[in-house]
Amino acid sequence: MSQTHFGFQTVDEHEKARRVREVFDSVAPRYDLMNDLMSAGLHRWWKAYTVMVANPQPGQCVLDIAGGTGDLGLAMAPKVQPGGTVVHTDINEAMLRVGRDRLLDHGLVLPTVVCDAERLPFADGQFDLVTVAFGLRNMTHKELALGEMYRSLKVGGKLLVLEFSKVAPLLQKAYDWYSFHVLPRLGRWVANDEASYRYLAESIRMHPDQETVRNMMRAAGFAHVDVHNLTGGVVALHVGLKV
């Protein structure tokens, strides 16, 4: 069995998927509140920016991978009407359930599929747009997942990967202090779960930087990849075009 990272720990590959599932089972009920608290609401802006760049059009088919509690689905579903659809997917049922309930509260019923991004149950060339927000970091075989995203896109389609990334050197010290001192405490006080938020900080540090993700997307087949650094590189949006 090959080994991989779970935060700063080295674990067997199958162990990583199990532990990631435990993290999201645990955080699902408080996920949205914690997102707002941890990012001081910035995650809403990062997602709005992603939707603006994705620019979904009426009639388009969109696949939201690792869609969790449904923020991107909620923003994109009205834009593909009439005639389009957003498929809301995640490997974790607890996260999808929270998302489905939220979408229902907004009067939206989206096709919802529990699936692993590394083995997508969709036909080749089915989607105009594929989005994945804060999900790639948690995947064990990122190259495999990016290959699946490429496969499921139509020629001319776009992949948008929003993910934590490498911050500008000037921000590094403050960002480290915040990540390793404030975040785990917030997790303990608000969600009674320090370990999951420690994993969050560690998994961000272990995730490849902007240039590496760009190269991984190129290797998956994307001919052109743009990188948008947001908030000093705290987050990066990678946009890949299938030609």
Least distance (Å) between residue 88 CB and ligand SAM: 10
Rounded (5°) CA angle 198-201-202:
85
Instruction: Pull the structure tokens for residue 126.
Output: 């089915």
Per-residue tokens: 123: 């036909």
Say if residue 56 is preceded by a cis peptide, omega within 30 of 0.
no
Q: Binder to ligand SAM among 51, 129, 133, 201 (CB under 6 A)?
A: 133
> At a CB cut-off of 8 Å and minimum separation 6, what does 18 contact?
none
Rounded to whole angstroms, how far apart are CA atoms 111 and 80? 14
Burial of 123 (0-12, 13-18, 19+ CB in 10 A): exposed
Q: Is 116 in the site for ligand SAM (CB under 6 A)?
A: yes
Taking residues 62 to 81 in sequence order and writing x for each that binds ligand SAM by CB under 6 A, - otherwise, the string is: ---xxxxx-x----------
Is residue 92 near ligand SAM by the rule CB under 6 A?
yes
In whole angstroms, how close is the CB of 243 to ligand SAM at the nearest point? 26
The binder of ligand SAM chosen from 117, 149, 160, 167 (CB under 6 A): 117
CB 199 within 8 A of CB 206: no
Q: Per rule CB under 6 A, is residue 216 in the interface with ligand SAM?
A: no
112 makes contact with ligand SAM (CB under 6 A) = no
Binding map of ligand SAM across residues 136-175, x = CB under 6 A, - = no contact = --xx------------------------------------
**Residue numbers of the site for ligand SAM (CB under 6 A)?**
20, 24, 65-69, 71, 90-92, 95, 116-118, 133-135, 138-139
